[in-house]
A = this chain, B = another copy of it.
Amino acid sequence: MKLSIQVNEGPYNHEASVSALNYTKAALEAGHEIFRVFFYHDGVNNGTRYTTPPQDDINIANTWSELAEKHGLDLVVCVAAAQRRGIVDEGEQQRNGKDGNNIAAGFRISGLGQLIEAGIQSDRLVVFGD
């Protein structure tokens, strides 16, 4: 079955991103296709490579990146939500005149249409948030 996942909260502050990670892993193990993981609201904060979590805790951004590489996941960060919260890739850096970028490996910034498309194309949309 084709599943899409929406993540509405940032890492650590809420359990939502950990729940989404564990759910995604279980869905992949069960042989389902993950059409897309869409990061919205504070969820965009999952996609920064600037985090340095404590050594004795999960590294959430890295876990997403590794999962994306291993399974070819499409991790999409909403551009409007990202602009409000300071998540930047090279394209956004150019467009908005920033002096750097912080997007993590495996994530891409795109529009809300990607969420709508996920709703249309997927058999199920599962939302994790606050």
Give chain A's interface residues, CB within 8 Å of chain B.
10-13, 41-42, 45, 48-54, 61, 80, 83-88, 92, 96, 98, 100-102
B12/A85 in contact, CB under 8 A: yes
Copies in the complex: 2
Q: When chains A and B are docked, how far (Å) is the Cα of A61 from the Cα of B48?
A: 18
> What would 16 more interface pairs be, CB under 8 Å, given A11-B85, A52-B92, A54-B80?
A10-B45, A12-B84, A12-B85, A13-B42, A42-B42, A45-B86, A48-B85, A50-B100, A50-B101, A51-B83, A51-B85, A52-B84, A52-B96, A52-B98, A100-B101, A100-B102
Q: In the assembly, what is the distance between CA of A87 and CA of B11, in Å?
A: 13
